Structure 1
């Protein structure tokens, strides 16, 4: 497990998202939508919408959902599953750890999507 600093807790307000690019163990760059839900919890998921291949971090965060700005697909921040069409495929979700005021993300170990 390779946790990397994604941001500081004060960098995101509740119901905000931002793009961070992190490196995998083999050196590949991964675009990550780092979001904070309405309750203040941090979530990390692939920044690339599974339907339109656009940035999810540019979308609106409401509750525990992020909406793709292009076609309106919504994804659950906790699971990456789409809850609103037109997207039908989930996006990868990455483990997040908050250590003091540091938000750490591990892009080498995506979380499994429950069936």
Structure 2
């Protein structure tokens, strides 16, 4: 049995992702939020698992994104639900830098 294959997708220019300002994107039909913390980049699903708000509209504080509706928080490194009312983790995706562009790996394609 082999692991499901995925694909690297072009996400955006590195300078499109500002420190502390989540960027919402749709890539290959998936709603993603892209984050920059210092020199590091992260990608998660963009939909809150509690009330389907766009996390890219939320507040990024360090490695935590706060949902704009009910203030639940997720760790952008692991997708872990950290505070009430969120209880279900969000997906995270590997990222890589190619030149001045950011790419995101989406599984199962």
TM-score, shorter chain, exceeding 0.5: yes
How do 1:1-115 residues align onto structure 2 when only pairs under 5 Å count?
1-23=6-28, 29-37=29-37, 39-108=38-107
Runs of 4+ aligned structure 1 residues displaced above 3 Å come to none
Q: Distance in 1 between matches of 2:61 and 2:12?
A: 20
Gaps of 5+ in 1: 24-28, 110-115
- Report the aligned-residue RMSD: 1.1
Q: Distance in 2 between matches of 1:40 and 1:53?
A: 29
Q: Could you state the TM-score of these two structures normalised by the residue count of structure 1?
A: 0.85
Higher relative contact order (CA 8 A, sep 6+): 2
Gaps of 5+ in 2: 1-5
Larger Rg: 2
Aligned to 1:113: none
Q: How many residues align?
A: 103
Give, in angstroms, the shift of residue 36 of structure 1. 1.2
Contact 1:34 1:44 in 2 (8 A): yes
Q: Could you state the TM-score of these two structures normalised by the residue count of structure 2?
A: 0.89
